[in-house]
Amino acid sequence: MELELRHLKLVHAIAEAGSLTRAATSMGLAQSAISAQLKRIERTLGGPLFARDRAGARPTALGELVLDRSRVLLPAVRELQDEAVRFANALSDVPRFRVGGTHGPLMGALLDRLAAIHPDEPVTTYTSWSVQTLCEMTSSGRLDFALIGVCGESPPPSEQLQWREVGTDPVFAMLPDGHPLAHATEVRLEQLRDARWTTVPGEGCFADCFSSACARAGFTPSTMLETDTASCVHLVQVGRAVGLCRATMPPTPGLVTVPIAGTPLSWRHLIGWHPDSPAAGTAPGVVMHARASHGEAVRRNARYAQWLATHPQYGTITS
């Protein structure tokens, strides 16, 4: 058997997980398949790579040698792949707009604007809950732009990409329109201390920041249901939960969005691209369209637009 990159990746997965069972779980494979593959790799390399016991799997001396060499080889191959994709993309003289984003109202509006203004160029999208995945795909040239969000003042998640801020939104409470606080000017977190909560899943510090805000308000949130946007809306509409949403949440029958007193949570919209990719040439226009899309989303939510009059530090970036 010839040694392949996928074999080295498997060895790394086992070393990082500390056991074949955990490695199998992380890779979505059966433990028997991992074990059989490891045996074939060990036969090819001439000896055992891991000492296995009840405590897990620890690299042998041979295993450490393989891991040391592969720590240089795997990133080098990945860098080669990324550079090759970017180089191939640069050979094309046709502008492309491959936009990756997390779930939110800005993606559709941005795509609509790009497709209208560039009717002869391909506009495609990729959606993921994982900001890290979007950044990796943009860095490697599989996407041209990543439209993401980060909690509060958190830095952009990738230093390889060039970033521009689109806008910053407060996080509002999403309530059923029959809720006693639905028409309040603002709601204090402690007024919702007995609520069950719902929001979309994501990476980063948002969950910790929410827990900290609740702690400062004197309580611990009981339940957080992470699910897709449509399910969050349904749970709020039927009174099963209180939602946490960006203030650009569009008007939706059966629910209202209410500012949270003191604005303990906020969300920054960012768009990024690789500075050495062909996308860098079209980036200024894409940033402009992303900000215009954000501005449209702000205007669609009358309560947010009214709130901004006394909170000018939020909203769409205009320069």
pLDDT less than 70: residues of the chain: 84-95
> Is-contact 105 249, C-beta < 8 A?
yes
User: Exposed, middle or buried by CB within 10 Å (0-12, 13-18, 19+), for 131?
Assistant: buried
The Cα 277–Cα 89 span in angstroms is 8
What integer pLDDT is reported at residue 159 of this predicted model? 86
pLDDT of residue 217: 95
**Residue 89 confidence (pLDDT):** 61
Q: What residues does 222 pair with on adjacent strands? A: none
Q: Give the residue among 99, 92, 128, 131 at the shortest CA–CA distance from 113.
A: 99
- For the chain, what percentages of helix, strand and coil (3-state, to nearest 5) are there? 45, 20, 35
In terms of C-beta density within 10 A (0-12 exposed, 13-18 middle, 19 or more buried), how is residue 306 classed? exposed
- Show the DSSP H helices in the chain as ranges: 5-17, 20-27, 31-45, 61-91, 105-117, 131-139, 206-216, 229-237, 279-300, 302-308
Over residues 61-112, the pLDDT tens digits come to 999 999 998 888 888 877 777 776 666 665 555 557 899 998 777 888 999 9
Domain 5-89 CATH assignment equals 1.20.1600.10: no
Sequence ranges of the chain with CATH classification 3.40.190.290: 95-319
CATH match for 95-319 among 3.40.190.290, 3.40.640.10, 3.90.1150.10, 3.40.50.970: 3.40.190.290
Q: How much is the pLDDT for 141?
A: 85
Q: Where in the chain is the domain with CATH 1.10.10.10?
A: 5-89
pLDDT value for 181:
96
| Type of residue numbered 123 | V
Supply the pLDDT for residue 318: 87
| pLDDT tens-place string over residues 141-181 | 889 999 999 998 888 888 889 999 999 999 999 999 999 99
Q: Whole-structure pTM over 0.85, yes or no?
A: no
CA 196 → CA 49, 61, 232, 270, distances in Å? 48, 52, 12, 29
Structural tokens at position 261: 């007193």
Please name the residue that has the structure tokens 């984003």. Answer: 101
